[in-house]
Structure formats: structure tokens, C-alpha cells
Structure 1
Amino acid sequence: MAGGLLISLYIYDELSYDKMFPDAEQIYRLNADIKFGGAENKVAVVPAPMADVLVNDFPQVEATTRFRTIGSTLLKKSGTIRNVKLTGTTYADPSFLDFFGIDLLLGDKATVLKDPNMVVLTKSAAEKFFSIDEAVGQTLIFDSGDTFTVSAVIDDLPRNSLLSDYTLFIAMAGYADAKIPNWGTHNYNTFVKLSPLSESADFEEGLPYIVDTYVLTWAQTVFPGMTKEQFDASGNYIRYSTIPLTDIHLHSHRKGEMNANNSIQNIYILSFIALFLIVLASVNFMNLSTAGSLKRAKEVGIRKTLGSNRSTLIGQFLTESGLISFASLLAALGLTLLLMPYFNDLSNKQLSIPFLEPYFWLTIIVATVILGLLSGSYPAFFLSRFAPIKVLSGSGSSAVGGGKLRNGLVVFQFAISVFLIVATLVVYGQLQFIQQKDLGYKKEQVLILNDVYALGAKSNLLKKKITELPQVSNATLSAYFPTPSSRSDNSFFEEGISDQEKALSMQTWDVDHDYVSTFNLDIIAGRDFDYKRSADSSAMLINEATLKVLGISAEEVLGKRFSSNMLETDHEYYTVIGVINDFHFESLRESITPLSLVIGKNPGSLAIKLNAGDFPQAIAQIEATWTQLAPALPFNYYFMDASFNDTYQSDQRLGRLFVIFTVLSILVACLGLFGLAAFNAEKRTKEIGIRKVMGASVGQISFKLSIDFLKLVGLAVLISLPLGWYAMNKWLEDFSYKIEISWWVLALAAFLAVGIALATISYQSIKAALTNPVNSLRSE
């Protein structure tokens, strides 16, 4: 019950996401499915002008709001030198406060974010700069040098909401891109609130109107003469859809999400584990109650002889099981309190038992009553039907029966256990595969130094000084690294081609000349960037995935020129000088997509390749160099392999939860099997004594006592292995790169189940076989 309670609190928290906002059931987010330039993208963002169109053209829409996430920001209080880094920065429409029902701690909602250069801070963010009471009206200087005024302070946003990571909201009025009617770029998380009488399905049916009326009209300015029929015939498409706000956390896994989401599959898995735990415990109770019925048979016979009717006996036995359930509940609550800090650390939550919530007590009391009735029902009806004349005349076990049910329940228990063993082995195997897979680049011993862009012209000097340190082998400046982050595609066109069906969609990363060598990327064809060639400022490296879309070889692509500035009359062309190997720059759930590297002027961060040795000393030297050049900026760094692992944190947490609760489930099943083995040995005491007198060895008797149970475990294995194989193959479908479930995984699961069962049974079997036959046969 403690395990079930912990999992239930976790699931309740996951299902509660974003339900705290007023009118949450009327709020939807716009999504876009886009196929263009050979790439198919599912994104959680739409064009900037979408919000206004929805309000003006759709009568069902009551309100809209937009966010344009920009990551982290360096800023300082006016009159100070030291910068502070705030994560979770976004541009926001002023309507977002009323839209989500967010109250102000300080400020005037009528003027918040109305003008450019206004910001809203959360309480914890504001406290890093000022006293809360004095925050409104204060000015902050951003890393760009722009000055912003604090217009309001809000409370920290709920952890179980899509806004939980955000601490700084900047007025959208100051963001020029938000005012441009560009339907070709998708960068804005856009939410709509529908009127109470509106149906989301009716609203969604009207969304193709936006594509036909606005998107294609805009596209015709880029591709003059293009018709809707030509666009459709090319196989390209743009489809807009909606998702309820309360479904985003568990049902949305798109590019451009505002927060890291979980998966409803994980909730289903944990729900089944919690249910299995409770069911296994109930099965134990039923099994041991019916197995122990021989000891209570005479009690039932005497009670019936003295006038007790069957309903009275059923009431007695159900009351006993109910009392046991409530005693277990009290123990489970204490155990849950004890384990909660460890569980929170494991699950990355801040859960607590809601003792003051009436619904919590109502739920667990009702659940405990139901559990007591279900687990005690069969034993109650089974025991109450004994015929007094049979049980009092000494018919013994033949009057008791129930063996077939007990056998069935043992099969059920171990089928669940074997299923969980298979699931645990597959999850563990996939996580190991992720850790060990060749990613196409070297992530080990690479330290990423953040916020280098804030140094401006000094960024190259910083790189030079750090590269001279003895433990640094190489370094590269870039805004993009091969770990998952927020990125977008650009549409490229080969020189001389402007037809939309010939577009090439790929990401473009600004890098420097040392990028390829720092990450040990392989040049498949052509050459790397060269400092000595000034023309490389307009050169481009592409990956192998780009070749597949173009349908040409690595040698054929060299020298071809591509441009993405189709809206400008003077196109900037990049010449392909080399092809690099495919490397994984997204999660292994995603396939490798087209990518290009160009020499850029946006340094972003510095990746530093360290030699093996004393890392703390190397970091100290790097920090000293940083402090020398940027004394007002915070020193922030991380190791790339740690960032890679963070990508799979939810999977790793799921794996750990799997292991823990699988072990617990197996333990519960083994407790029941241990009790049944003890009962079986006691029931066959005289048989064992006679066999020993007749010359049977300890091994023969132990085998005889164990084989019946092992047959049941074997049947459970045969039932559960196909189910486990099917279920885990469905789970692996989420990964583009995954393991195959080999036969040995299923064999290992079967071996473990049989081994655990044999170890559980053998103690009682050997103990019974070693009993002196004189003691077994001398008394009735």
C-alpha cells in the first residue's frame, strides 16, 4: 500500500498540470504540422500574426496570448556592475496575465507590459536584485545594453504548469519580429481561449481557412505565380491544429515546447505497477487465507453447529480483512512519510501527503474499504460454505479444497512479476544503448562555457587565452552544440532554382573554423573550413542526411551553391566545400535531419576540449581567465556529457522507478509463495515422514515439494513473455534508434523468475525434508 500510495501521489501530480488556471478547460494551444523542403516537422509554435487573425476572424475565440521564448538572459540592476543570469526568459503579450488568471503581487495590471522595454519578474527573480516592495519602477540593464523597467512582480509560478520554468517576461511590444506579418516562420507559442458554448472541433475545422487565406497569399510573394493546386501537388503542406492546455504535459512532444513534458505512456506504466502491487498483495491475502482454511475449518463447523448462519460468518471474515486493511493503511502512511524525501529525489518532484485535504482521506478510506472487501471476499465465502458434519468428522483437507484457485493466483502473481522483469530489462537495455551508442562526435571531456556572447569583441581573445592553457587541447565558438536545444530549420534553394517543391529544409549553425576538429567530426568528402581562405566566410559544410534529401552523392554536391534569403533581391549564397558524417544532435527519439555549418559571427558559447587530467584545476584556470576578461559576468559552465544525460532524465527516472517497484512486486509475490510453500509442507508432514521411512532422500523430497510450484511458475512464464515482448516493443517505438528485444532478454527474464521462485520454495522444502520422521508420525 505504501508503494501504491507513492505512485498515486506522483500520478496525481502529473495529471494536475495546468488545471489550476481559471477556465483551463476552454484554453487550447495552436500546433503546426509542416512538410516543406523534404522535412516533416511537428511544432508547438505558429507564425506571429496568427493570434490577431484568430481574434478577428473566429467568433469562437474570446482571447489569445503569445510567448516567444529566448532562453536565459544576463542582466544587472542599474548602478551596479555584477550581472545575474536568469533562466526562463520569454517575450509575452500583456494579455497573458488575465488570460491565465495570474495575480500581481505589485504593479498595475492595466499598464503591465503595454509599452516596449517593460518586464515582469517572478518573486524569486526580483529578490535577486531588489527588495520586493521597491521592485516596481526599478530599471534593469540587459546584456545587450538596453534598459528595461520592472512594471510588475508576480508570485513564482506553479511547478505543475507549463510556465513553471519562466521567471522573466518581456513586453512583446518591444520585439520587432512580433509585428511583422510573416507567415513563413513559426516561433510563437500561441494560446486561444474559446467561449464556453464553443466546441474545439468546430473551431479546428476552420483552421484550413488560415492556410488558404493568409499563408498561401504570403507564400505567393516568395514564389510568384504559385497556386494552391501546385502547392498541394508538390506534397508539401501546413496543417494547424489545437491541443487542450491540460493535455500538453502528457500528450505533446513537439519542437518548440515551452517546458519539458512527460509521456502518458509512463503514467500508464506506473499506474499498472501500482495496481499490480495492490493486486499482488490482495492475492497473497486470498491465497494464505484459503490455504490456512484447514486450521479454521473446525472453528467454522463449531460456529455453525452452535447456530451461526453463513451471513454472520461472512461478515466476521470480511470485518477481519477490513481491519487488516486499515492497519496496513496506518503502517503505509507512516512508511510513505519516511520514504517521501527519497522518492521526491528519485522522481524530481516535491510531493507531500495532503493530510488537510478531505478528498484525500475520502479516497484512501474508500479505497481501503474496497481493498478489504475484495481481498477478503473469496476467503469469506469460501470458509463460510464448509459443511459442519464434514469438517468435524475429520474429513480434513478433502473438505477444504480451494487448491485450483490458489494455483491460479500463483500463476497470476508470477505472470505479473515476469512481465515486470521483461520491462525492466528492456528499459535498462535501452538506456545502456543510449549511453554507449556512437553519436558521431566526442562528447567526453568537453566543457561548455556559457554566455560568451556577452564579451562581444573579447570572445576571440578569451578563446585564444583558454586554448593556451596546458590542459586544453582545442576550443570552438558557436551558438549550437550537438545536444538537444531549441533550434529551427531554414529553407534553402540551390542556385538557379526557386520552385517551392525544390526547397531544402535544414538547420544552419553558426560555427568557427575549429568546430569540426573540436568535436572530432569526420569529413566524408571535400574539406574543412580553413583560416587562410577568406572565401570560407561564405562556405558551407553539410551532413550526410542532406545528401539523402538532395538525392546526390557527396562528390556531386561539392561546389553547389545554396541560399535561404529568398525574400531579398540580392541573395547570399553559400558554397558547399565539404560533407561531414551524420551525428546525433537531437534526442535518439528523433531521426538525423539535414544540417549545415557556416562561419558565423554569433559566438554564443565556448566549447573547450580538455585533456585527461586534473579537471578541477583546469576549470579553476579557465575561471581565472574568464574573470580577468569579464569580471562583471557570472562564470557558468557544464560538461557536454552531463547535458547529454539530462536529455534522458525522464527515461532514467522511469528506469530507476521500474527497478525499485519491480523488485518490490517480486518481493510481494515471493512472500505469498513462501507462505504457500510453508503451508504445503505443513499439510504434507505425514506424507514426508512416510517417504523418509520408505527411504526417500532429502533431495527427492525437496524436488517433490518444489516441482508443483515450479510448474505454476513455468506456466506464468509462458503467459507473460509474449505480453512483455509486445508491450515493450510498443514502448520502444518512441525511439528512432533503439535496441531489438533479443531472445536472451526473454530467456533471462524466465531464468530469473524460476530462480527466484526456486530460492523462495527451497527453504521450506529442505526444512520439511530434514524433519525427523518420528516427530511427523507419532501424533495425529
Structure 2
Amino acid sequence: MFKNNIKIAWRSLKKQPFFTFLNTFGLAIGMAGALLITLYIHDELSYDRMFADADRIYRINADVKFGGLPEQLGESPEPMAETLMRDYPQVELATRLRNQGSILLRKANVTANVKELNSTFADSTFFKMFGIQLLDGDAKTALKDPNTLVLTRTAAEKHFGINNAVGQEMVLNNLGTFRVTGVMEDMPKNSLLRDHTVFMSMPSFQYAQIGHWGSLNYYTFVKMVPRADMAAFQEGLNSLIGRYLIPWIQDFYPGMTEESFKASGNFINYSAMPLTDIHLYSNMKSELSANGSIQNTYILSFVALFLVILAVVNFMNLSTAYSMKRAKEVGVRKTLGSNKSDLVRQFLTESGLICFLSLLIAVGIAFLALPFFNELANKAISIPFANPVFWLAIVLATILLGLLSGTYPAFFMSRFIPVKVLKGSGLSNLGGSKVRNSLVVFQFAVSILLIVATVVVYQQLSFIQSKELGYDKEQILVLEDINNVNGQEQALKSEILRLGQVQHVTLSSFLPTPSARTGQTFFKEGANNQEDAINMEHWRVDHDYLSTIGLELVAGRDFDVRIPTDSSAIIINETTLRTLNVSAENAIGLRISSDLGASEEDITYQTIIGVVQNFHYDSMRNNIESLCLAIGRFPGSMAIKMTAQNTASTVSAIEGIWNDIAPGQPFNYYFMDDSFNNSFESEQRLGQIFSIFTVLSILIACLGLFGLATFNAQKRTKEIGIRKVLGASVSQISYRLTTDFLKMVGWAIIISLPIGWYAMNKWLEDFSYRIEIQWWMLLLAAFLAIFIAVVTVSYQSIKAAIVNPVKSLRTE
């Protein structure tokens, strides 16, 4: 019987090619979109699960408030790892990482440096912690001694080759010589260390063993013993403050107690986060690499679900709508002895066959679209064709989809009464119209919801990119790795300033776009209690920083190279004024110090000489925090303000100067506005993904609406002929046919707009600086839905209205 059902189903599908195309193509589009999103979500959920005992590895986080706004950090103090290993029996192993960022690396016998974008100092237990095997070298001792490092496969091949790297000498940042002691495989793309290529031994870092409980600069990972009591461990973490942090602070403040520390409003809370949660649940101020978002994952999960549901709704709608054409078939079958269960099996077989055909098309569409999707999502996803679990999941999902989409039409058509349908009476009242109308409303409600989301995401991105930032990011070229010029920074700066297209030049690693960051605690003169602490970012700049970056002074003056005392002067931002509780004018001349706990005669003060307008140097998700600028020599980068004319020739001229001063050294640069835009890459990608899948959802909804409009026009052929004979115009008939569908779109608008407004307001809450959802955004989504519906339906309406009424009235 199954073979017979398949044959009948195939013949039935061939007899109605238009219906088959709409159903198959609609399902295929929905399944292909859902498949791509499912692969994306699977990749997001797989982060860091490849490491040995990943479920037992945790990172120690710190929530801190000390003289400023609260901060959430993924880093902890330098002694944390050793202390946990010594004091906590639940800890089996601990290791630390100290992120170094980009470095310059070269073989000892060459002069040209190679830039490695991501490097870190690591304890010798690092490889054991994550179960990493070396391709060459001994993992137990590779990072044990000072001035040793391990390269990934990519880095080793770049410098020596895999088999020739171990034992070689390399010069780091033109300063120290390191010996290569191992080569490891590249870190997986779905790991938190995916971009890191150089791992240097922790003993090489001079501040790694000073017992500094106030420095939160180390990523500390612990591996717990099996079935460890995490609640007890978490409680023990909180006890570290009284046992270690407060005694360390008492070296500077002898009267400090844990109670007085908490009473001041300051706090430090340590917590353990599972390694496998970091990528999706961690959004700390400091991360080893860019993380994803569980919120975005949920959103995309709903989008995938909506696509499948929309495709299923299409099938149900079209199947029940076309049931009138098959009513007599059902009547004949019942007359010849078919019972209800036989008919249900037949119609379910047809829906299953359509789903199977849709699956083949969907996999093909997904395969062809995957390279573009990977580029859009910045992924390296592949379809696991060789994995039997993948095919099992696909087949089971297809069977389930066939049952979901075919059950209602199957039971609906199997209820037809043979006498009525064979006589032809009551064919126009077979029922199901309320269900079909409800499903159309649901389809368009989902589509409108996605339109609202897309509009809001793009408006937020537009707001971010056009917002007044408080500094000038346009036409600023940032030249990296200035330490390659071997002390000739000023000569390079002077030569570049000679170019006619260059307006200003400054030396500093600290820029408003993603760059070096450093925080420090200060005290006003005469107020050195911990309640008076001011925690703020401390940037080292040169005398031309403000003019180059375009920062606006609201009080005081800029640094002046002719004033020697400016070497101990600072310029603060407006947020710092609120922390100091003074006005901009009264802040000028105040002295502050970072010499925590020093005697009065040993304190070095810095004098505030200016106040700059607040500017955004962090993500729009975060508030602007306290900041001060001071003169200092940390010229890892050079920012060059250029005119808008002949940018390419100016860059070429700067490269020529670079090659003269630093021959053989890499010329690395970027534009500040590009760096700013890249900092919102995840939001931009989300907006693009939303746009694509919104278009897909609208396409699926339109396919269904087009099919229903076609069916409706055929169903009302005689009515249209009679109306034309009685004098109705083409426009009147088209209007009447279209209005029925617009009522359903109207209900969809009423349902979806409040939900869209609420959902996107929740999404916007993640941004400290955000737009308000305006009425016109919701109106635009409603107008687009109405326009799409009218365009979809009007073709069939007009086509039906212009048919010769003689032909319409002859229709059987």
C-alpha cells in the first residue's frame, strides 16, 4: 500500500504543477534558511567544548567597584592561581594567561620584524589544563623557563617551518631574545584562543610573581576535581577578600578592615564562570577574544523556527485551499470503499513526498549559499555531509515536518461527505476558511515583526555611526609598530609633518577606537582614604594629542611643549569632574596622586591643567567613564591627521618616509573610522542577517498569498463574470478581491507591532546610548507589509477581472 500511495502521490503532484511548485519551493526556502541558522547556532554552542575536561574548567571573574563605576572583568589578581591550588582541595589544576596583544617577532639573525597580532604569556600548566599536545617539543617543560615561547603551526611555518622551529632564537619587540621550545597546532576557530599564535612563558613577564592582589590583569583558569561542590567553592572565593585582599591593602592603609571597605560602597566579588559559557554569556570589559551573544543566538533561533513555521503554514493553507479541486476525488474514493484512515495515509504520503523533495532542494540551496553566509557571519561553517548524525537529524526533521504540515489538510479532506461533493453541492462551503485566514494573519504578523526588528537594528547602527563622538575620526591614519624605528620616533614625526597633506601628528598607543587601555587609582591631595579613591583610565600621550584627535577643551589649556612642568600635568574628562565633585573651572590646579600609601614627602603629584569634553572611547553599550591624559613615552602607534585630498598619494608618501627611517620593517596602518566601524561588527552582522531572513520570510508569505489569491480568483470565477455583466469595472472587481486579503494583513499589523516594539526595546537596553523606537518605524513596517500584500494579490485580482465574462460564466 505504501508503494501504491507513493505512485498516487507522485501522479497527483504532477497533475497540479503550480500548487506543487509553490509548496515545494516555499518549504525549501524555509528549510534552507533554518538549516543555515541551525549550523550557525551549533557552531556558537560548540565553543571551547573541544578541550579535555572542558566541563570542569572555570575562569575566575571579578566584579569591581573602587573609586568609579562598577566593572565586570574576566581577569583576576596575579596570586589567584597559586592561592586556589594551595587552599582549595576542589581545585585540581590552575593556570594563568596574561594577554600581550600584538608583538613584533623576528629571527635572531635578521632585521625585518614580522607582526603577530595576538600573543599571551602563559603558565607552564597551560597545555595540561586544556589538554593540548605539541607537534614538537615537551608540553610539560615548554613554558617553564624564562625567555621561552611556543608557536602555533601557522606562526612556525611563517618563520622557520614546523620541524625546524624548536631551539631557534627569536627577538621579541626588538628588546629580548626568546628561545622556541615548542610548536602546537593552531587553536580551533571555535575556541577563546582562536586568534593567538604566540605563547610566551609566564616567568618571562617581570611582574608575574610579585603577589599584587590589587592588579586585575591575569586570566585565571581552574580545573575542578570531578563532582566538585561548586557552591562551596564559590563561597570560598568570597572569603579571599578578607584573607588576602584586605591584608594586602593594609600595607597602604593600616586601619583598613573588610567592614570599612564594604561600608565605603566599594567592593570586589570573585566568581567562577564555566569555560563553555564564556563565548555566549560573558561580556566583560576585558576578554581574550571577541565573544558572541546568547541573546542574538536566541533571536536567530526564533527566526529559524519562524521560517519553518511559515513554510508549514504555507503548505497547510494551500493544501486546504486546493481541497475543493480534490473534493470529488475524495468522494469517489470513499464511494469505492476507502475509509478515513486510508485517505489520511494517502494525503500524509503526499505531504511527506513534498517535504522530501523540499529537503533535497533545501540542502542544495544551503550548500550554494554557505560561502556567502560564512562571509556574512564571519564563520567557517561547513555542512557535515559525512556525519550520519546530521543525516539522521535531517531525515527525522523532514518526517516531523511532513506530519506537521500534512496532518491538518489530511484530516480536513478526509472529512468530506461523498454525497455532497459528488453532487457538486456545497463545494464553496467546504470550510477551513477561518483556519486559512488565521494562518495568513500569523504569516504576516511574523514578517512584520522581522521588518520591525530589521528597521530598529539598522537605525541603531546608523545612530552609532553618525553620533557625535566628541573626537574626529575622519581622515586619521594610524601607523602601528612605531617601536620599529629604533628611537627615531621624533624624526619620523617631523618628516611626516613636512608633507603638505598632513595637518597634525601625535604619538600614543592610547586611541578612542580599540587600542591599549590602562586603569589607575588616584587620590586628591589631602584625601587619601580609600573612600576617596578615583579609579580612571590613564593614557600616555604627547603634546599634539588633542589637536590631532580633535578633542575639545571645556576648561583650562592643552599641553605645551614650552612648559617643562607639563611633564607632571594631566588633562581629565567631564566624567572625572563628577567623581571629584567639582566644576570644570575649580578642577584646574587640583593635584592628584597615584602613590598609594606613600609618605607625604615621597608622594608625586600631578596637576590638572585642563578638562576635555566627554568623548566615546568605548563601545556604545557602555557609559563614558573617568579618564585622564598625561605626557609619557608609550609610542606604540602614531595618529596622522590628513586632508581629504589625495589620500592614496599621502599614504604612499608616508610609506616612503617609513622605508627610509625603518628599512625592511613592515608598514602597518589602518584608518581610525574603519577601526571604529569594526568595533560594532557584531551588530552590523546581526542587521545583515536580519535583513536576509526577513526577505526570506516575506518571500515565503508572498508565495502562500499568491497561491491563495490564485485559488480565490478561480473559486469566484462565475461571481466575477456576473459582476462584469452587471456593469462592474476591472478596478472595482480588483479592489473587492484585494480587500479581503488586506483585512487579514490589518489584523497581522495590530498583533505584531506591539510585540515588535516590546522585543526591540528589550534589545536596545544593552546599549547605554541608544535610539528611541519612533512611530514612523512601526508605520514603515506596516506600510511595507500592506504594499507587499497588494503587489502580491493584485496581479491575480487584475488577471481575473479582465477575463471575458462569457468565458467566466461557461466555467464548470
- TM-score, length of structure 2 as denominator length: 0.95
After superposition, residues 144-183 of structure 1 pair within 5 angstroms as 144-183=174-213
Residues 304 and 388 in structure 1, CA contact (< 8 A), matched pair in contact too: yes
Structure 1 Cα separation of the partners of residues 509 and 597 of structure 2:
25
Paired residue total = 780
Which residue does 1:615 correspond to in 2?
A: 647
Residue 179 of structure 1 aligns to a residue whose secondary structure is coil
Structure 2 Cα separation of the partners of residues 235 and 454 of structure 1:
45
Which residue does 1:402 correspond to in 2?
A: 432
Residue 62 of structure 1 aligns to a residue whose secondary structure is strand
Residues 256 and 486 in structure 1, CA contact (< 8 A), matched pair in contact too: no
| Offset, 1:6 | 1.1
Does residue 535 of structure 1 match 2:546?
Answer: no
Q: 1:588 to 1:779 in 2, by over 3 A?
A: closer
Which residue does 2:373 correspond to in 1?
A: 343
Q: Comparing 13-22 with 488-497, which one deviates more in the overlay?
A: 488-497
1:686-742 CA distances to partner (integer Å, 9 max, x unpaired)? Answer: 111111111111111111111111111000000000000000000001111111000
Structure 2 Cα separation of the partners of residues 450 and 484 of structure 1:
13
Structure 2 Cα separation of the partners of residues 505 and 649 of structure 1:
29
Residues 83 and 634 in structure 1, CA contact (< 8 A), matched pair in contact too: yes
1:120-141 CA distances to partner (integer Å, 9 max, x unpaired)? Answer: 0001001111121111111101
Structure 1 Cα separation of the partners of residues 705 and 244 of structure 2:
68
After superposition, residues 222-241 of structure 1 pair within 5 angstroms as 222-241=252-271
- TM-score, length of structure 1 as denominator length: 0.99
1:478-500 CA distances to partner (integer Å, 9 max, x unpaired)? Answer: 01001134523211001111100
Residues 38 and 549 in structure 1, CA contact (< 8 A), matched pair in contact too: yes
Structure 2 Cα separation of the partners of residues 691 and 376 of structure 1:
36
Residues 386 and 399 in structure 1, CA contact (< 8 A), matched pair in contact too: no
What are structure 2's unaligned runs of at least 5 residues?
Answer: 1-30
Which residue does 1:420 correspond to in 2?
A: 450
Does residue 654 of structure 1 match 2:686?
Answer: yes
Which residue does 1:260 correspond to in 2?
A: 290
Q: 1:171 to 1:539 in 2, by over 3 A?
A: same
What are structure 1's unaligned runs of at least 5 residues?
Answer: none
Q: 1:695 aligns with which of 727, 730, 734?
A: 727
Does residue 550 of structure 1 match 2:580?
Answer: yes
Structure 2 Cα separation of the partners of residues 154 and 230 of structure 1:
49
CA RMSD between the two structures = 1.0
Which residue does 1:204 correspond to in 2?
A: 234
Does residue 492 of structure 1 match 2:522?
Answer: yes
Paired-residue identity, %: 59
Structure 2 Cα separation of the partners of residues 550 and 283 of structure 1:
61
| Offset, 1:632 | 3.5
Q: 2:695 aligns with which of 663, 669, 677?
A: 663
Residues 567 and 631 in structure 2, CA contact (< 8 A), matched pair in contact too: yes
Q: In structure 2, give the amino acid aligned to 1:19.
A: R
Residue 186 of structure 2 aligns to a residue whose secondary structure is coil
Does residue 27 of structure 1 match 2:69?
Answer: no
Does residue 773 of structure 1 match 2:802?
Answer: no
Which residue does 1:14 correspond to in 2?
A: 44
Which residue does 1:643 correspond to in 2?
A: 675
| Offset, 1:456 | 4.1
Which residue does 2:164 correspond to in 1?
A: 134
Q: 2:138 aligns with which of 104, 108, 125?
A: 108
Does residue 727 of structure 1 match 2:759?
Answer: yes
Q: 1:288 aligns with which of 295, 308, 318?
A: 318
Does residue 516 of structure 1 match 2:563?
Answer: no
Structure 2 Cα separation of the partners of residues 571 and 105 of structure 1:
52
Residues 717 and 800 in structure 2, CA contact (< 8 A), matched pair in contact too: yes
Q: In structure 1, give the amino acid aligned to 2:788.
A: I
Residue 77 of structure 2 aligns to a residue whose secondary structure is coil
Structure 2 Cα separation of the partners of residues 478 and 741 of structure 1:
39
Does residue 715 of structure 1 match 2:747?
Answer: yes
Q: 2:281 aligns with which of 251, 267, 274?
A: 251
| Offset, 1:352 | 1.0
1:569-623 CA distances to partner (integer Å, 9 max, x unpaired)? Answer: 4222110001000000001111100100000011111000011111111111111
Residues 125 and 140 in structure 2, CA contact (< 8 A), matched pair in contact too: no
Which residue does 2:129 correspond to in 1?
A: 99
| Offset, 1:274 | 1.1
Residues 453 and 602 in structure 1, CA contact (< 8 A), matched pair in contact too: no
Q: In structure 2, give the amino acid aligned to 1:606.
A: M
Does residue 49 of structure 1 match 2:94?
Answer: no
Structure 2 Cα separation of the partners of residues 779 and 474 of structure 1:
82
Residue 496 of structure 1 aligns to a residue whose secondary structure is coil
| Offset, 1:462 | 0.7
Q: 1:337 to 1:779 in 2, by over 3 A?
A: closer
Structure 2 Cα separation of the partners of residues 709 and 396 of structure 1:
23
| Offset, 1:387 | 1.2
1:376-420 CA distances to partner (integer Å, 9 max, x unpaired)? Answer: 110011111111111112124245210000000000000000000
Structure 2 Cα separation of the partners of residues 43 and 492 of structure 1:
20
Q: Comparing 770-779 with 531-540, which one deviates more in the overlay?
A: 770-779
Structure 2 Cα separation of the partners of residues 634 and 724 of structure 1:
50
Q: 1:455 aligns with which of 466, 472, 485?
A: 485
Q: 1:188 aligns with which of 218, 233, 255?
A: 218
Q: Comparing 566-575 with 78-87, which one deviates more in the overlay?
A: 566-575
Which residue does 2:718 correspond to in 1?
A: 686
Q: In structure 2, give the amino acid aligned to 1:38.
A: G
Which residue does 1:67 correspond to in 2?
A: 97
| Offset, 1:567 | 4.6
Residues 476 and 514 in structure 1, CA contact (< 8 A), matched pair in contact too: yes
Residue 178 of structure 1 aligns to a residue whose secondary structure is coil
Which residue does 1:502 correspond to in 2?
A: 532
Which residue does 2:591 correspond to in 1?
A: 561
Which residue does 1:361 correspond to in 2?
A: 391
Residue 217 of structure 2 aligns to a residue whose secondary structure is coil
Q: In structure 1, give the amino acid aligned to 2:789.
A: A
Residues 509 and 516 in structure 2, CA contact (< 8 A), matched pair in contact too: no
Q: In structure 2, give the amino acid aligned to 1:665.
A: S
Structure 1 Cα separation of the partners of residues 634 and 598 of structure 2:
22
After superposition, residues 737-748 of structure 1 pair within 5 angstroms as 737-748=769-780
Q: In structure 1, give the amino acid aligned to 2:336.
A: L
Residues 33 and 304 in structure 2, CA contact (< 8 A), matched pair in contact too: yes
Structure 2 Cα separation of the partners of residues 597 and 671 of structure 1:
60
Which residue does 1:754 correspond to in 2?
A: 786
Q: In structure 2, give the amino acid aligned to 1:172.
A: M
Q: 1:221 aligns with which of 245, 251, 267?
A: 251
Structure 2 Cα separation of the partners of residues 649 and 358 of structure 1:
35
Residue 127 of structure 1 aligns to a residue whose secondary structure is helix
1:294-344 CA distances to partner (integer Å, 9 max, x unpaired)? Answer: 001110111011011111111111111111111111111111111111111
Structure 2 Cα separation of the partners of residues 775 and 369 of structure 1:
43
Q: In structure 1, give the amino acid aligned to 2:521.
A: S
